[in-house]
Amino acid sequence: MLARAGRVRDLVVHPRLPLVINGRKIGRGWLTLDFSYQEWRDGAWRTVYEDYKEVDTRESKLRRQIAEAIHGITIRVKT
């Protein structure tokens, strides 16, 4: 619906974000999210990362925080 209205574009299902610091992998070395897409907001296209969780574990929260710090992004979590 939002894509037809021209408010979102470039939908990616299960994008992977590398989790590497100083050449060392953190855990598996990546974080897999549910979606990423471009959203028209405030007069510009902005990348949105979303992750849907039925149960949000401590490990999931930590991996998201690491990804956000490495990549300078915010991940929206939907429960």
Contact 15, 47 (CB under 8 A): no
| Domain tally, the chain | 1
Residue 42 forms part of a structural domain: yes
Residue 1 forms part of a structural domain: no
Return the structure tokens found at 31: 């974080």
pLDDT of residue 45: 96
Return the structure tokens found at 45: 């296209």
pLDDT of residue 1: 60
Q: Name the residue range of residue 34's domain.
A: 8-78
pLDDT means per 10 residues, the chain with 79 residues, are 77 97 94 96 95 94 96 95
The pTM is what?
A: 0.86
Residue 24 forms part of a structural domain: yes
